[in-house]
Structures are given as C-alpha cells and as structure tokens.
C-alpha cells in the first residue's frame, strides 16, 4: 500500500520559529494558555490547504463475514455516495467477501483514507451505516478493541463481555473501561470516575489542579479463591542421578534361592503356598461364623434405691380423710355452719319484735 506523501519542514525551521517567537507578557495568566476558549472549533481541512493533491494512490481492504453480505448490498450505494463527496472510491467484492477503499487524483485530504478504512472496518463489524458514516467527520473517532485473547475461560469471557453491551446492542465507548472490564473490574467504577471528572471540568478554578483527591479509589478484591486439588502431589527433590533399575523376576529368584531349585521342587513350594493361603482363608471364615453364636454381654442389674423416710406416705391420715368424706353428704353444711346459721335467725326474730 502506498502512503500519501507529506512535505517535511526544512532543517532549522523549527529553531528559527522558536527564536522569532514573541515573549509572553508579564501579566498574562498561565491558566488561559492551558484552556481552550468556549465555542472554538478547529477549521475544516479544505482544498485550499492542499491544492496539489496527493502524489500516489493509497488503498485499504478488509474482509466481512457472510451474514453481513445482505446488509452491505442494500447500503453500499449510500457508502459510495458518502465517500465520493471526499473523492474516495469504494468497491464491494461479494465473491471474495471484501471491501476496498482507495484515493483518486482529486483527493486533497491525506487523512480521509484513514477515515475511509475505519468506515469499512465498522461496517464489517456489525455497526449500522448511520453510525459508521459519522467517522468521516473531523470531531469523531473510533477505536476497535480486540478482546478475544484477554480472557482464556470462555464462560468468564462471555459474562464480562455482557457487562459492556448496553441497551439495543450499544457498547461502552471508552477503551480503559473495556479493558478493565475484561480484567474483572466492573464498568460502574470507571463510569463513576468519568461522571466526577465531567463535573470537575465545569469549575474554572479546578481545571488546572490535580483531581486525584476527588476521584474514588477502588481496590481490587479477588473473593473467589482457587480450588485446591484433593490429592496434592509432593514434588520429589531433584537428583542428577537416574532412579535405580527395578529388579527382574530372575533377580528376585536368585536372591531367594528359587532359581537353583528343580521344577518339581518349585511346584511343591507353590502348592504349599496355595495350601497355606487356603487354610488362612478357612480359619477367617470360621471365625466370622462363630461370631453369631457368641452371646452378647448382659447389662449389670441396677438395684432399686430405698425410699427415704421423708417421702413415705402417711396411710392413717389418708384413711381419716376418706371416712369424713363418706359421712358428709354432697352439698350438706358442717356442724359449725349450722350453729352460725341458727344464731343469725334468732337475731332476725328479735329485731322484728
């Protein structure tokens, strides 16, 4: 790709300009030099700024997925119309699945080819034409961030990417917010800092001061600890020597003396070993059978405690109470109550007389 030629300043031009600069007035405020006046806009780049045009042709191409083909077919006349205003040609190749933009002899803006490149990149990445064509304006810029390789775990990647997607598929427009989100820092923290900065920028006194004391400090806390494996493998100490060679069957027979025995002797030893194992298994089986015939241990008999004299029941007093209850009729008055009633009747008679 051929790059547009730009004229370089002559040597010493910068120095002469610096020497010829007028000294700053003593009463001028430094804050006025740092701030941009309200309502000021950079003048647009016109043909008068570069009347000769570009010396060489520049071009960019990008591929697009298959599912974008139908949309690009519909909006491609609008794309060509928008680029022709800046004297840039655009071609759509449906066979290769690519879009190409290139400058012409009438192109005078050397940076318009970069904006045209960003336009076809945005169209290839599912951005609508209405939003993508704004990149041709001088006060609009775009940044394409590749987040596919930032997080290895696919599930974690999908969760963090979902935080960036806003209503109707719109995404956040700040690079730091996007990168911090993929590092497991929630975007609300950075958005809060941006809102504070916007309010501080309105104050003319705080423009030239540091804003660190106003911005919130968020500490990254990793709550989810890494799961430790159940079986921990302990690494052995490193030794330059190789491990000892395991003994073969012949070496074991030589050590035990079986190698020098005859075939019938070896057979006899094997039979004896088999019989010993069988006898041991029979004895264990018999012990398990005998366990069913062993009586369980009886619990010791606990003697009942003798009742104390304090808690003994007085039988004689209970009998007297029962006799009194039998003699007394239900609802009848006692002897004392009858005497009191008779006295009260006599007093009433005397009063009447």
Residue 60 β-bridge partners: 101
Rounded mean pLDDT, 161-188:
72
What is the pLDDT, as a whole number, of residue 224?
Answer: 60
Has residue 237 got a pLDDT over 60?
Answer: yes
Average pLDDT along the chain: 79
Total residues belonging to the chain: 353
What is the pLDDT, as a whole number, of residue 119?
Answer: 95
Residue 8's pLDDT band (cuts 50, 70, 90): very low
Rounded mean pLDDT, 203-216:
80
Has residue 173 got a pLDDT over 90?
Answer: no
Round to whole Å and give the CA distance between 78 and 89.
12
Q: Name the token pair of 329.
A: 């009729």
What is the pLDDT, as a whole number, of residue 156?
Answer: 86
Residue 174's pLDDT band (cuts 50, 70, 90): confident
Rounded mean pLDDT, 238-249:
87
Residue 272's pLDDT band (cuts 50, 70, 90): very high
- Tens-place pLDDT, residues 12-48: 433 333 334 445 555 556 655 667 777 788 888 888 8
What is the pLDDT, as a whole number, of residue 328?
Answer: 59
pTM summary value = 0.45
Round to whole Å and give the CA distance between 173 and 144.
10
Angle ∠(63,69,73) on CA atoms, nearest 5:
115
Rounded mean pLDDT, 192-202:
84
Question: What count of other Cβ atoms lies within 10 Å of the Cβ of residue 266?
Answer: 13
What is the pLDDT, as a whole number, of residue 308?
Answer: 54
What is the pLDDT, as a whole number, of residue 94?
Answer: 92
Residue with token string 């990793």: 222
| Burial classification of residue 209, based on how many CB atoms lie within 10 Å of its CB (0-12 exposed, 13-18 middle, 19 or more buried) | exposed
CA–CA distances in Å: residue 205 to residues 35, 197, 212, 244: 11, 14, 15, 80
Residue 177's pLDDT band (cuts 50, 70, 90): confident
Q: Cβ neighbours of residue 94 under 8 Å, at least 6 residues apart? A: 69, 73
Rounded mean pLDDT, 163-168:
65
Has residue 230 got a pLDDT over 50?
Answer: yes
What is the pLDDT, as a whole number, of residue 178?
Answer: 79
Residue 171's pLDDT band (cuts 50, 70, 90): low
What is the pLDDT, as a whole number, of residue 121?
Answer: 94
* 283-316 exposure pattern, b = at least 16 Cβ within 10 A, e = fewer: eeeeeeeeeeeeeeeeeeeeeeeeeeeeeeeeee
- Cβ proximity of 107 and 88 under 8 Å: yes
Has residue 1 got a pLDDT over 60?
Answer: no
What is the pLDDT, as a whole number, of residue 334?
Answer: 65
What is the pLDDT, as a whole number, of residue 318?
Answer: 79
SS (H, E, C) the chain: CCCCCCCCCCCCHHHHHHHCCCCCCCCCCHHHHHCCCCCCCCCCCCHHHCCCCCCCCCEEEEECCHHHHHHHHHHHHHHHHHHHCCCEEEEEECCCCEEEEEECCCCCCCCHHHHHHHHHHHHHCCCCHHHHHHHHCCCCCCCCCCCCCCCCCHHHHHHHHHHHECHHHCECCCHHHHHHHHCCCCHHHHHHHHHHHHHHHCCCCCCCCCCCCCCCCCCCCCCCCCCCCCCCCCCCCCCCCCCCCCCCHHHHHHHHCHHHCCHHHHHHHHHHHHHHHHHHHHHHHHHHHHHHHCCCCCCCCCCCCCCCHHHCCCHHHHHHHHHHHHHCCCCCCCHHHHHHHHHHHHHHHHHHC
What is the pLDDT, as a whole number, of residue 281?
Answer: 94
Question: What count of other Cβ atoms lies within 10 Å of the Cβ of residue 24?
Answer: 9
- Tens-place pLDDT, residues 273-308: 999 999 999 999 999 998 888 888 888 887 776 655
Least reliable range by pLDDT among 24-38, 91-105, 157-171, 294-308: 24-38
Residue 176's pLDDT band (cuts 50, 70, 90): confident
State the helix-helix crossing angle for 175-182 and 187-201, rounded to 10 degrees. 160
Has residue 326 got a pLDDT over 80?
Answer: no
Highest mean pLDDT among 149-158, 175-184, 322-331: 149-158
């Amino acid at each position: 790709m051929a790059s547009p030629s730009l004229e370089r300043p002559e040597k010493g031009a910068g120095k002469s300009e610096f020497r010829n600069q007028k000294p700053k007035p003593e009463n001028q405020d430094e804050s006025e030099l740092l701030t941009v006046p309200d309502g000021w806009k950079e003048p647009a780049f016109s043909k008068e700024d570069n009347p000769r045009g570009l010396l060489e042709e520049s071009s960019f191409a990008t591929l697009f997925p298959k599912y974008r083909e139908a949309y690009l077919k519909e909006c491609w006349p609008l794309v060509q119309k928008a680029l022709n205003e800046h004297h840039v040609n655009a071609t759509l190749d449906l066979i290769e699945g690519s879009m190409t933009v290139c400058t012409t002899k009438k192109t005078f803006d050397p940076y318009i080819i970069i904006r045209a490149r960003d336009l076809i990149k945005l169209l290839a990445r599912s951005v609508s034409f209405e939003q993508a064509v704004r990149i041709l304006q001088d006060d609009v810029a775009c940044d394409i961030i590749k987040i596919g390789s930032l997080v290895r775990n696919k599930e974690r990647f999908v969760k963090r990417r979902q935080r960036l997607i806003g209503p109707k598929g719109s995404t956040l427009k700040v690079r730091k917010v996007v990168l911090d989100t993929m590092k497991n820092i929630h975007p609300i923290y950075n958005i809060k800092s941006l809102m504070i900065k916007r309010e501080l920028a309105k104050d003319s006194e705080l423009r030239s001061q540091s804003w660190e004391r106003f911005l919130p400090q968020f500490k990254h806390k990793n709550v989810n600890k890494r799961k430790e494996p159940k079986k921990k493998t302990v690494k052995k100490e490193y030794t330059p020597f190789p491990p000892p060679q395991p003994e073969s069957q012949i070496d074991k027979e030589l050590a035990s003396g079986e190698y020098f025995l005859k075939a019938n002797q070896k057979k006899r030893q094997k039979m004896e070993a088999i019989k010993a194992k069988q006898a041991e298994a029979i004895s264990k089986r018999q012990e398990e059978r005998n366990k069913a015939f062993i009586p369980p241990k009886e619990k010791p008999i606990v003697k009942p405690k003798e009742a104390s004299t304090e808690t003994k029941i007085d039988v004689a007093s209970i009998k007297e109470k029962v006799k009194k209850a039998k003699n007394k009729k239900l609802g009848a008055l006692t002897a004392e109550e009858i005497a009191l009633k008779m006295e009260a009747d006599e007093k009433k008679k005397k009063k009447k007389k």
